Structures are given as structure tokens and as C-alpha cells.
Structure 1
Amino acid sequence: MIKQQKEAALAVALMDLTSLNSNDDSAAINTLVNSINPKLGTPAAVCVYSDFVAEAKIALATRELSHIKVATVTNFPTGDAPLNTVINETLIAIERGADEIDLVIPYKALIAGDKSRVLEYVTESKKVCGSRALLKVIIESGELQTPDLIASATLLAIKGGADFVKTSTGKVAVNATLDATKTILNTIKESGKLVGFKAAGGVKTVADASDYLTLASTIMGNDYLQANTFRFGASSLLTNVYAVLNEA
């Protein structure tokens, strides 16, 4: 039980508490922020659509939780938008106060063999983010499927300047998996670059989170398990985490 509670406390500290639903509105974002119980731990970030970035910032500030970052998504979820649209999305999001940008790569182009298009999206997005926002690159590993494509996408993200490599949008049939995570983390390690990792989609319980934490610790070391290098993207994980912590 003590081990589970330690993992729960760590999981909440590494969480991007997420709401990316088609019916999101101001009330939904306030509900999301109000679900945070500081006595049981606070997430690293909340992740919302760009339209709600400013509202999330205000809601967090109102609850004296301004230390929590606000993330948003670009080229989401299909990865099909033209580059100029993606860059405009990024600029607007940063103007609204986004601290972190989660960019979906044009993964279908990579599947078709076009690595240069993927690299261009990451590189140009990184230029816009600069020092103003972290760039977390979503490779959509479940659609890439093969270890070779997952490793290739990870390397392109790293080459383009990604601060994090993220598994998934959570909007496809297969999202985060331990196999994909192993490939991504080993690729990051072999690159020699200090790049973070984010598991998104399907991590719903402390038991789920534990498997990812164990794998990351085994490959990257315990020091990697901090918010500047490891995240969970989750919507329902917080409920389970708090339930475990409430048992203390």
C-alpha cells in the first residue's frame, strides 16, 4: 500500500490533466481545474484546447494554482493541417498564455516515407516556441505501429528540437503502449539528448502508471521521473490517484 501511495503521489505530480473533448466549454474547463485537490497533490499542467487557454489560466490563478502550467495542442488530432496553419495556431496559443505546445506531427507523411515534412513541422514549431513554450511532439505511435517508424519519428522530433516526445493524441484506436514507450525511451537514450517523454491515452489507474514509471526508471534512471522529463497525459487518472491517496 505504501508503494502504491508513493506511485500515486508521483503520478499526480507528473500529470498533464487533460480535457480535449468536442463539447468542451468554459464550464468544462472550470470543472477540470476544480477537480484538483491541492491537499492530495497538483498536476504539472492542464491541457486544453487553445480557445480555453486563457480561461484555464484565470481559473488556476483564482485557486492560487498558477504554478500549474497550461498546455494546448496544435495540428490536432489528425496531423493534416498545412504548416502555415500550424504555425499560426502556435503563435495564437502562446499569445493566449500557453506554456506548452503539444504538436501532432504529419504522421501519415512519415508512413508514406516523407521524413522531411515531419522534420519541417517540428523545426518550425520549435522556432516559434523558442524559450516561451515547451514543445511536446506527438508522434501517434499507435498509427505508426512498427518499432522502426516509431524510432524514426522519435529521432525526427529530437532533431527538430522537441523538448518531449509524446506517444499519442488519445483519439485513435491504439494510444500509449509499453512496447512503444520502450522504443521511444531507448531511442531518446541512444540519442544522448536530454528529451522528455509523455505517455498519453489509456493511462487510467495508478497500476497503469506504475508500469510506465517502472519502465522509464529502468531505461532512463530514477532522476528521469520528474515533471521536466516525464509526463502522463490523462483525463481520468486523477480520480484514481486521489482515491488511492485518500486511503492514506
Structure 2
Amino acid sequence: MNSVVNPTDTARTLLRCLDLTSLNDGDTPETIAALCAKAQTAHGPVAAVCVWPRFVAQARAALPAEIRVAAVANFPDGALDVARAVADIESIAQAGAQEIDVVLPYKALLAGQTQEVAEFLAEVRHASRPLTLKVIIESGELKEEAHIRRATQLALSAGADFIKTSTGKTPVSATLEAARAMLDEIAHSGLSAAGFKASGGIRTVVQGQDYVTATAEKLGEAALNPQRLRFGASGLLDDILAVLDGKANTAAQGAY
């Protein structure tokens, strides 16, 4: 990346790579309608809208084809339950989504059930084709770099399209340390199409810039597109638009 970063350029990258997300317990059809309206901004569309499975059909009907619809499976607990995950995936696909964000059974991985986790991921990949599959490794719960790397390796070996940091439902979500380990594994996997998704706790363009930089360093600047980089967030869009509208906080701008 260039040593001097233009916040407007960063905001544009974040916008086109954003999975605008609402996964609150209290979500309603009205919540999702408002989310879909926000996804179509004056500066261009987000990459996708991510919702609970029960809202997929509504979101797909409300959005133009250029904005993809994603939904979560095996979420947020990441149980080692293949039947449940596959049932989630099938209902999501039938409702018209193009992308699935599934939680890797991280507790099982920590308990040493590596083979069982690998088999789970293989079943999930088979059930989800041809949809885009993002595997959430819950890096904040895995904690140790070795566990984060192993989870990333397993997801990539199973054919995941993206490796995602977090559900956003645990005390620790995305961290740069975890992101760098994940990106390093993606870079060394030999899978030129595999991507990375940072999710949970990223609320400003300044924060997002760190992940853009890390991605460019590990995967190259050509990877700064929605085919290989995503951000899962709800509040980030407000700061993106503030930057693009020239209304960003000057203190935040100074962080560049």
C-alpha cells in the first residue's frame, strides 16, 4: 500500500466490500427493510446484505441483483451438528441467498476433534454449492495463533471461499493479529481465489484501513475487491458515508 493513505479511497474500498449486517435477536421485517434501503447508497451499493435465514426471501426481493444476499448457518454457537447446519443451508439456498456464513465448530476443534471438524466442513461445502461459502472460525475464542491457523487451514482445505474472523457475538471479535495469521494461511494455501472477511467490532474507516492494509500486504492490492475481501458490519456504513460526504470527524481523519 502507499505510505500516504487517502481516507476517501479507503472508504470506497470498504463500501464495495461491505456485508451490511443485521443479526440482532429483535430483528423484524421493518428492520430488514431499512437495512436493504441503506445498502443502496448515493455512493454506490454494498457487496451484500447479511441477515437471519428467515429474512432471506424478503431481502432478496427488496434488493437489486448487484447486491448479494447472505445468511448465517450454525450460528452463533458453532455446534458440531452436521444435520442442523445442512438444514440451515438448504433453507437459505431455497429462499434465494447467494452466500452462506457458517460457523466452524470451534469448541470441538479446541477439544481436539480435528477430524470431526474437517468432516463437518466437507459436508457443509457439499451442501452449499454453488453458493459462496464463508467459514467463521471465531478467532476470538480460538485465541492462540496455532488454533487460528489450524481452523483457517481446515476451512480452506474444505473449499471455503472466504475465511471470516467472528460472529460478533463473543467478547473478542476481529483483531489484527488474528487477521494477519488468517491472511498468511490464505496467501500460502495456493488458492488464488480464496478471500478474507473481517467481522465484529469494526466501526470506523480508520479501523477498517488496518485490515485493508494487512490484506494488501498478504494477498496483494489486486485482492482489494469484494471477490476476495469483505467486512461484516452494521455501524461501519455510517462512518464510510461520513467520509465520502466530507463530514468525517477531523480527529478521526488525523489518524491517517
TM range, normalised to the smaller chain?
over 0.9
Distance in 2 (CA, whole Å) between partners of 1:174 and 1:44 is 25
Distance in 2 (CA, whole Å) between partners of 1:22 and 1:184 is 29
Letter in 2 for 1:178: L
Greater Cα shift, 166-175 or 114-123: 114-123
Matched, 1:35 2:34: no
User: 1:181-220 alignment to 2 at 5 Å?
Assistant: 181-194=179-192, 195-220=194-219
Runs (4 or more) in structure 1 with deviation over 4 Å come to none
1:146, distance to aligned residue in structure 2 (A):
0.4
The corresponding residue for 2:140 is: 142
TM-score, structure 2 length as denominator?
0.92
The corresponding residue for 1:170 is: 168
Distance in 2 (CA, whole Å) between partners of 1:81 and 1:188 is 24
User: 1:73-222 alignment to 2 at 5 Å?
Assistant: 73-80=72-79, 82-131=81-130, 133-194=131-192, 195-222=194-221
TM-score, structure 1 length as denominator?
0.95
Q: How many residues align?
A: 243
1:42, distance to aligned residue in structure 2 (A):
1.1
Contact 1:141-1:150 within 8 A present in 2 as well: yes
1:37, distance to aligned residue in structure 2 (A):
4.1
1:130, distance to aligned residue in structure 2 (A):
1.5
Letter in 2 for 1:6: D
The corresponding residue for 2:254 is: none
Contact 1:198-1:230 within 8 A present in 2 as well: yes
Query: Residues 56, 223 of structure 1: CA spacing in aligned structure 2 closer, same or farther, 3 A cutoff?
Result: same
| Structure 1 gaps, min length 5 | none
Distance in 2 (CA, whole Å) between partners of 1:223 and 1:210 is 16
The corresponding residue for 1:56 is: 59
What is the DSSP-based 3-state SS (H/G/I as helix, E as strand, rest coil) of the residue aligned with 1:127? helix
Query: Residues 2, 219 of structure 1: CA spacing in aligned structure 2 closer, same or farther, 3 A cutoff?
Result: closer
Identical-residue share of aligned pairs (%): 42
Provide, for residues 46-80 of structure 1, a one-character-per-residue CA deviation record: whole Å limited to 9, x for no partner: 000000000001111xxxx2210000000000111
Letter in 2 for 1:53: V
1:145, distance to aligned residue in structure 2 (A):
0.2
Provide, for residues 173-211 of structure 1, a one-character-per-residue CA deviation record: whole Å limited to 9, x for no partner: 001000000000001111111211000001100001101
The corresponding residue for 1:243 is: 242
| Structure 2 gaps, min length 5 | 248-256
Greater Cα shift, 8-17 or 116-125: 116-125
Query: Residues 83, 33 of structure 1: CA spacing in aligned structure 2 closer, same or farther, 3 A cutoff?
Result: same
Letter in 2 for 1:143: E
Letter in 2 for 1:198: K
Matched, 1:11 2:14: yes
Contact 2:43-2:244 within 8 A present in 1 as well: yes
Greater Cα shift, 112-121 or 19-28: 112-121
Provide, for residues 68-112 of structure 1, a one-character-per-residue CA deviation record: whole Å limited to 9, x for no partner: 000000000011162111101101100001100001011000001
